Amino acid sequence: MVEALPWASTVVVVPSPHQVATLPSDLHVMDTVAVRGGAVIVVGYQVSSASADLTARQAYIARYDGALSAPLVGGTGWIQAAGAAGLDAWAVRARLKPEREGSTYELLTSTDGGATWTSGGAIPTTSLTAVAVEGGGCGWAIGAGALLR
């Protein structure tokens, strides 16, 4: 599709969207981020039943780079947020606290565009909604009443 923008002196070519991968039917996507090189990271959680119980959630991170990878991160919890700059990517895994009130947050990091992930440790906050990655190991975490670096 070619679209002429009335305020622009150039013509913008907008590619028609088409499906490139099929996501698991039980996947609840929380965020997607693009990384350098054209790959996309899909994050969220899977739940094997219709249960609304947060303990039934299984964290999910996959990478699309011509094909959708097998899940790269799993385990209990859910991926609350993700961000990327260049090849540096961050994701935050949330888990329900044992007393079933509130969540704990763990920073997951990748330096290879989301192909591999490591734990960056606990994030000391009671709420987390987003991350912003600067690159070079630097970034921000944002929650209700908290801005962390």
102 close to 127: Cβ distance less than 8 angstroms: no
Give every residue of the chain whose pLDDT is below 70, as ranges: 1-16, 50-52
Structure tokens at 148: 């962390």
What is the per-residue pLDDT across 8-30, written as a single tens digit (0 to 9) for each?
Answer: 445 555 566 777 788 888 899 99
- pLDDT score, position 15: 62
Structure tokens at 22: 């099929």
List the beta strands (DSSP E) in the chain: 2-4, 11-13, 27-35, 39-46, 58-64, 78-85, 88-96, 103-110, 118-122, 130-135, 138-143, 146-148
- pLDDT score, position 123: 92
Q: What is the pTM of this model?
A: 0.83
- pLDDT score, position 41: 94
3-state secondary structure at position 26: coil
